[in-house]
Structure 1
Amino acid sequence: MRLIASDLDGTIIGRDGRISPRTVRAFRDAADAGVQIVFVTGRPPRWLAPLREQIGHEGVVICSNGAVLYDLAADRVLSAQTVPHRDLFAAREIILGLHPHVAFAAETTEGFQLEPGFVESGSVELLGGIVPRPLHESLEAGDSVVKFLARGGELEPDAFLAQVLPAVSHLVAVTHSAVGVPLLEMARPGINKAVTLADYAASLDIAAEDVVAFGDMPNDIEMLEWAGHGYAMASGHPWAIEAARFQAPAFEDDGVAQILETRLALL
């Protein structure tokens, strides 16, 4: 074990935003043992405070499902894989043809833009004063979109993904990671967590077989398949569990910490 690659939400971070003391201790022990650590998340860079405040991580983070490589210590984007606006709007029209009441948003390296109906009206205040507007009005030519989002109202998440994926896969890569929420996350074709993680590991001269990865949702599948030791959380999505070679105990049982403690004892 030379590199640990871990998802955040549902893997080490709970819905309350907390990381358990046992999990914090396991990651700090791994770092003290000389193991490289990279967190690999669907979150944008602005939502990484728990890593700093609870674990004390100051290294690289792979954000936005692999579209962004971020230096947490320097607070800067190292690289970004963006979705061309023409492809974004073409995918938007196709999705609306399937489900006319879907609302959209765009995560950019500069911020966040959302359309009316994407979040509940009372939640807009929590987004830092962002005014919902149609994306063709709010997105400017120079905005670098790293994640395109579609929210499907009352649709079932897996069914929503299954319907949209074949219709737009020539334009964008599609996945989802929000438990019980019909929220599709789209990126430039060919971009996912595994692609960026593989490049990052190669930059450290670390092979896939020396990587231990943890995840719980469909957006983790490629990463769990690529890593030599990919662990799906027992509490995770059935697709992730099916794809992974190994299974970690549930999030509620500090599953990641349990696996790391066992592996560190063998170093």
Structure 2
Amino acid sequence: MSIKLIAADMDGTLLDSQKRLPEGLFSLIHTLRERGVRFAPASGRQYYTLYEQFGEIADELVYICENGSVVCDGARMISFEAMPTDEVCRSIELVRALPGVEAIVSARHGGFYETADDPAFLANAAQYSVRRTQVPDLLEFCRHEPVCKVAVYCKGRAEEVLIPAFHAFAETSQLVVSGADWMDLTRPGMNKGMAIAALCKSLHITPDECMAFGDYMNDLELLQAVGESYAMANGHEALKAAAKHICPSNDEDGVCRTIRQVFGIDKA
């Protein structure tokens, strides 16, 4: 096996249930880099959140962010795929009409949201968008600023409430439930798998030289885009059915354990 790129989803995959990175991950990434293998966090999170989270090794990584709408190599942006302005504005208007629903949009310089009184939404937004700004009128902001993703929040009911509510958008946007609380809108066809294609082109490698890990249905295209796909034991059943392999859960350090086993790397 000649793997040159490893991509791993964050929540439910690389991070444990307490949202912690695995012990020894940075050392493992150093070892992989010495062997000519790049590591890519692949997440619905914004670039700035991921870059900050990886601290001292941030510049060594490649990043799949905003469910594939943003791709970076260290501090260099490779791609930013903006949604049509009219589509973004229509989605914000619908959010405003739905009780208990909030939104945060992703632009080049961070996340933006308007006044919200729901502390759970604000806490979730802070977790996924470390660089975020409150604006008085999100609709007006989106008329003038390119947006690559609209993340819509409905606590514990994303699949039940948001998918039916946004059904009409399915023909003009990519709709993905990215967790129990969130649904993301991006440009049609944008997903983590498309980002793998962009990274392969940038790194001059093939999809067969890529390995990926995921747990939820927003990781489906990611796993389909690589030669070696792993679904987490704690993952969605449909994703596990689509993956080539099943690995231990996120609380069992499944990603790092599998990488060490495949590459014959002893734990430091």
Equivalent AA in structure 1 for residue 161 of structure 2: F
2:146 to 139, 144, 160: 144
Q: Does 2:32 align with 1:33?
A: no
Unaligned runs of 5+ in 2: none
Counterparts of 1:100 and 1:122, CA distance in 2? 13
- Aligned position for 2:188: 189
Q: Deviations over 1:73-130 (max 9, x none)?
A: xx34332000122011223445667x45422221111222213337428948967783
**Closer/same/farther in 2, CA of residues 101 and 199 from structure 1, 3 Å limit:** same
Displacement after TM superposition at 1:238 (Å): 2.8
- Aligned position for 1:62: 64
Equivalent AA in structure 1 for residue 64 of structure 2: I
* Count of residues paired in the alignment: 258
Q: Does 2:87 align with 1:87?
A: yes
Query: Which is worse superposed, 20-29 or 2-11?
Result: 20-29
Counterparts of 1:67 and 1:128, CA distance in 2? 17
- Aligned position for 1:223: 222
TM-score with structure 2 setting the length: 0.83
- Aligned position for 1:263: 262
Equivalent AA in structure 2 for residue 14 of structure 1: D
Query: Which is worse superposed, 203-212 or 9-18?
Result: 9-18
Q: Deviations over 1:52-85 (max 9, x none)?
A: 34x555232121111111232xx34332000122
TM-score with structure 1 setting the length: 0.83
Give the SS at the match of 1:21. Answer: coil
Displacement after TM superposition at 1:199 (Å): 2.2
Displacement after TM superposition at 1:212 (Å): 0.8
Counterparts of 2:223 and 2:193, CA distance in 1? 8
Q: Does 2:252 align with 1:249?
A: no
Equivalent AA in structure 1 for residue 158 of structure 2: P
**Does the Cα contact within 8 Å between 2:8 and 2:41 map onto a contact in 1?**
yes
**Closer/same/farther in 2, CA of residues 91 and 192 from structure 1, 3 Å limit:** same
Counterparts of 1:249 and 1:129, CA distance in 2? 34
- For the aligned residue pairs, the C-alpha RMSD in angstroms reads 2.9
Give the SS at the match of 2:201. Answer: helix
Task: State percent identity of aligned pairs.
Answer: 26
